[in-house]
Amino acid sequence: MIQDDYRAAIDIGTTKVCAFLTRKRQDRRVELLGIGVAPNKGMVRGAVNNADAVSEAVKEAVTRAASESGVAISRAYIGLTGTHLDSTHRWNNVPRDTGVRAVTETDINAALRTASRLEMNADRRLLHVIPRSYSLDGIHGVRNPLGMHSSQLHIESLVITGSNDHIFAIQDAVRKAGVEPMNMVVEPLSTAESVLTSDEQEDGVVLIDVGGGSTDISVFNEGTIIHTAAIPVGGHHFTNDLSIAFSIEFEDAERLKLEKGTCAPEASSMKEQVTIKPVNLPDPLTITKREVGQVLRDRAQELFRMVLLRLDSEHLRELPLERIVFTGGGSKLQGFEPLARYMLQRKIRLGVPRGIDGLPEVNRDPAYAAAAGITLWGYKNLPHESHVTGSRRSSNQQAYVGAEDRQGKISSLTGWIPGRK
């Protein structure tokens, strides 16, 4: 039986499924053992539309990661993203015995339990409870109150919930692929582990993950996440705009975007031409790269305007949010970064995954930041456990995915309490 700390993470996106298998070495560095990527045709706007197609994509990605690593993946952390996620700020009084006394570990646990008690509709599920600060006898902004004396204790927290229907659909698809879904990890939270620096999280930063079906926004300040939001616009919408504008098939529009796409049409010469095949014309049509860029620029500008609206919240206006980090496959369009810098008037950079040894150069790409982040978040916040069965094989031996009929309790989706295993 394998005793090493192996973790698997699965990022189920609108366009692809990405599976990582890693191991924590004795030097506490995280090492990549296998990676698998498969196209996903079972999601629409970040939600499961065809469960069988999602399951097949998960199975293919996991099988590739298992074959590369030589071990069988039986369990995994699963990323959650999309507009079904919701975050709420809470301020709770923590019941304590009367009198002035030191704050203990028991008090902290009680504070976190108090913060996680909230009334929700039957279709919502608690995912994460993240403490922002504590208040002791009216003194606010205390990060670690352990050992401090007070008669009253309050906790300020960010509570993240998700749609039961969405979560169950993802879980079922993963189970059908022969993998037991363990903790469900909110990607706007976990992606920060792979792309943001500690200084950025401390000083204030906005992380924007442009996925296929939606764009996730997470705001960090003083070392913790303080706000999440989602925009129902992603890379698929850029592709769909091209499909409609030039009357071409969606697959042809995707290739056009990847091969000739730009958000800076003014930088393209009118002589740079592209041949397309409209569905309603008998003969091919010649257009310019500049025309392609004009369509994509319009969509990018709309996305940036929506970002500004999401950041124009009362509790964010006074914060030092002068830095924005973009990640996700949708952020890789030519000209995307300078256009974002112009429209958002902030310091902009693209975030690529780091913190995992052995990640191939081709995968040091914004499109793989979410899977890397899920992996690192799990090591940091969840107990030691192994997500594999069997033993390492030689590279010429076929690995297998966890058995379809494997028995065992599926871990429940309870709220995550930071620092509490």
* Mean pLDDT rounded to a whole number for the chain: 87
Q: Write out pLDDT tens, residues 81-135.
A: 888 888 888 899 998 888 898 999 999 989 988 888 888 888 899 998 888 889 9
State how beta strands 215-221 and 224-231 pair: antiparallel
Whole-number Å distance between alpha carbons of 4 and 399 = 18
Whole-number Å distance between alpha carbons of 185 and 260 = 35
Across the range 367-375, mean pLDDT stands at 95
The predicted structure's pLDDT at residue 390: 59
The predicted structure's pLDDT at residue 393: 44
280: left (phi over 0), alpha (psi -120 to 50) or beta: alpha
The predicted structure's pLDDT at residue 382: 85
Q: Write out pLDDT tens, residues 16-56.
A: 999 999 999 888 899 999 999 999 998 877 788 899 999 99
What's the pLDDT band for 3 if we cut at 50, 70, 90?
A: low
Specify the residue for token string 């494997």. Answer: 406
The predicted structure's pLDDT at residue 34: 95
Across the range 401-419, mean pLDDT stands at 33
Name the DSSP class of 28. Answer: S
Please tell me the CATH code under which domain 235-294 is placed: 3.30.420.40
The DSSP H or E segment spanning 11 is: strand 6-12
Whole-number Å distance between alpha carbons of 156 and 136 = 12
- Phi, then psi, of 275 in degrees rounded to 5: -100, 130
Q: Which strands make up the sheet holding 153-163, listed edge to edge?
A: 86-93, 153-163, 124-136, 139-142
The predicted structure's pLDDT at residue 135: 92
86-162 and 235-294 share one CATH topology?
A: no
Q: Write out pLDDT tens, residues 323-348.
A: 999 999 999 999 999 999 999 999 99
State how beta strands 124-136 and 139-142 pair: antiparallel
Please tell me the CATH code under which domain 86-162 is placed: 3.30.1490.110
Label residues 229-260 b or e (16+ Cβ within 10 Å = b). bbbebbbbbbbebbbebbebeeebbbbbbeeb
CB 215 within 8 A of CB 236: no
Return all residues near 404 (Cβ < 8 A) that are at least 6 apart.
176, 178
Q: Is the pLDDT of residue 358 over 70?
A: yes
The predicted structure's pLDDT at residue 130: 87
The gap from C-alpha 176 to its chain's centroid, in whole angstroms, comes to 22
pTM: 0.85
Q: What is the domain partition of the chain in residue ranges?
A: 86-162, 235-294
Whole-number Å distance between alpha carbons of 284 and 228 = 45
- The tally of CA atoms less than 13 A away on the side-chain side of residue 260 is 21
Q: Is the pLDDT of residue 364 over 80?
A: yes
Specify the residue for token string 């074959």. Answer: 67
- Phi, then psi, of 58 in degrees rounded to 5: -60, -45
Q: Write out pLDDT tens, residues 310-329.
A: 998 888 888 889 999 999 99
Q: Write out pLDDT tens, residues 251-267.
A: 999 999 999 999 999 98
Structure tokens at 310: 């999401």
The predicted structure's pLDDT at residue 392: 52
Across the range 197-224, mean pLDDT stands at 93
Q: Is the pLDDT of residue 411 over 70?
A: no
